Amino acid sequence: MSDWIPVKQARMAESVGPNCEIRGWVRTRRDSKGGFSFLEINDGSSLGNVQVVAPGELSNYASEVQKLTVGCSVVVRGELQSSPAKGQATELHANEIRVLGWADPEHYPLQKKRHSFEKLREWAHLRTRTNTLGAVMRVRDQISQSIHQFFHENGFFYVNTPIITASDCEGAGEMFRVTTLDLERLAKSGGPVNFSFDFFDKPTFLTVSGQLEAETYATSLGRVYTFGPTFRAENSNTSRHLAEFWMVEPEASFFDLSDNMQLAEKFLKQVFGDVLEHCGEDMEFFDLRIEKGKIDQIRGVIDKPFQHMTYTDAIKVLETCGESFDYQIQWGSDLQAEHERFLTEKHVGGPLILTDYPSTIKPFYMRVSDDGKTVAAMDVLVPGVGEIIGGSQREERLDVLQRRMAEQSLSDDDYWWYTDLRKYGTVPHAGFGLGLERAVQYVTGMANIRDVIPFPRTPGSAEF
């Protein structure tokens, strides 16, 4: 590697010196009457740019420098000096500017300063060159790094659970099928599908969650987490649903619901704290441009204990609050986004952990409580997004688990390996899943989940 430095470093006062090289893309060019030009260069390492002063004496000044437009890629060498200008510590006085690639202003889509986020989705391959999407992706990276660090520090082993699976963890039947069968030929023949001719000899799907496999590792390694892409074929065209999203799922033996809630709270607070500490410039941008007061809001979340409420109490609040909802709510029905957001935004004004949901609306693996009607479930709700974490204590009693499986028409033959965990050395255990994109959405204040993942997959949309 030759001795060039990232723009982030070149913006620091301590980097000033005679031989500095940066490499990046032109954000703006302004020609001065004095026969020189200012260029703003960004290389993605930080939100801010470095200002380059390009003197008219450069051999390619008229032939190239004065033709630079937004998006051109350049290598700039020169003396990095302290800057007299406000808002920047340094500026690079160029003695050489090499153009690596031109960006025809007639056709380059990001010429215009401002495009709507919706429009930018059409250029998902270019949109991270904008301030907002670049900042989102740096924060997303920080959150991913913090997730690994938190679990590593707390004794959790990282396991890689499979993407292709034969079991439907959430039991919702919203799975993408994986097959090598020739669908066109099958459609023409009109015959029944024989999965013994399929690649895996049985029906298989993309996973909706790595939890069941993580449980197998929790009951041997103790504390584990899986972190990978998950897939849901639900037809939800909302601002908080993706068909492909990333989920981190810790699973811990000897944990009950209370341990699980404590873990989730400590985890979120550490991850949010890391973002404030390491992404200061990006977070100031979100605070200013995307959601006013975001930084103080997150500081408040870190400082205060999370509120807790049972599902039953939440229903009472929703029934008597006088708010008009699109969906009627009563004990036994699933909470809709509007209910979750009312509870977290208006009722408690911060994160809320809802517990003890009716067993009828939760998956088979959640532990049935002594009342026989509810399960040891926990959802963490946050303002602006709603549910960010879903988790539970798991059913460790074989007979109860088998009864719940039968109620949900799940066959012992398909889940024999899962019930084995209850046959041999069963232990209380618990875990949860955090949707990475929902976490990024919450931290940045971005309104639509499609703008916090590089290439969003949603119904009818998988362009890139």
Q: Is 224 in the site for ligand 4AD (CB under 6 A)?
A: no
Helices (H), 76-123: 117-121
Q: How far apart are the first and last CA of the chain?
A: 31
Q: Is 440 in the site for ligand 4AD (CB under 6 A)?
A: no
User: CB of residue 263 vs ligand 4AD: minimum separation in angstroms?
Assistant: 12
Residues numbered 390-409 forming contacts with ligand 4AD, rule: CB under 6 A: 390-391
Nearer to ligand 4AD by C-beta: 384 or 390? 390
- DSSP state, 5? -
User: Counting Cβ atoms within 10 Å, is residue 75 exposed (0-12), middle (13-18) or buried (19+)?
Assistant: middle
User: CB of residue 392 vs ligand 4AD: minimum separation in angstroms?
Assistant: 6
User: CB of residue 314 vs ligand 4AD: minimum separation in angstroms?
Assistant: 16
Q: Is 232 in the site for ligand 4AD (CB under 6 A)?
A: yes
111-150 footprint of ligand 4AD as x/- string (CB under 6 A): ----------------------------------------
Q: Is 211 in the site for ligand 4AD (CB under 6 A)?
A: yes
The tokens describing 414, both together, are 């398909």
Q: Is 428 in the site for ligand 4AD (CB under 6 A)?
A: no
| The binder of ligand 4AD chosen from 71, 78, 134, 433 (CB under 6 A) | 433
- Could you tell me the CA-to-CA distances from 429 to 253, 254, 406 in Å, in that order? 4, 5, 22
d(CA 357, CA 369): 10
Q: Is 438 in the site for ligand 4AD (CB under 6 A)?
A: yes
Q: Is 241 in the site for ligand 4AD (CB under 6 A)?
A: yes
Q: What is the dihedral of CA 430, 397, 205, 458, to 10 degrees?
A: -40
Nearer to ligand 4AD by C-beta: 11 or 438? 438
Q: Is 375 in the site for ligand 4AD (CB under 6 A)?
A: no
Scanning 35-43, 80-88, 243-251, 324-332 for contacts with ligand 4AD by CB under 6 A, the matching segment is: 243-251
d(CA 112, CA 122): 15
**Which of 264, 239, 307 is closest to 445 using CA atoms?**
239
| SS3 annotation, 136-185 | HHHHHHHHHHHHHHHHHHCCCEECCCCCEECCCCCCCCCCCEECCCCHHH
Q: Is 43 in the site for ligand 4AD (CB under 6 A)?
A: no
Q: Is 247 in the site for ligand 4AD (CB under 6 A)?
A: yes
Torsional sign, CA 343, 344, 346, 349: positive
Nearer to ligand 4AD by C-beta: 42 or 359? 359
Buried b (16+ CB within 10 A) or exposed e, 380-399: bbbbbbbbbbbbbbbbbeee
Q: Is 242 in the site for ligand 4AD (CB under 6 A)?
A: yes
Q: Please work out the total of residues on this chain that contact ligand 4AD, with binding judged by CB under 6 A.
A: 22
d(CA 163, CA 185): 27
Q: Is 72 in the site for ligand 4AD (CB under 6 A)?
A: no
Binding site for ligand 4AD (CB under 6 A): 169-170, 209, 211, 232, 241-242, 245, 247, 249, 387-391, 431-435, 437-438
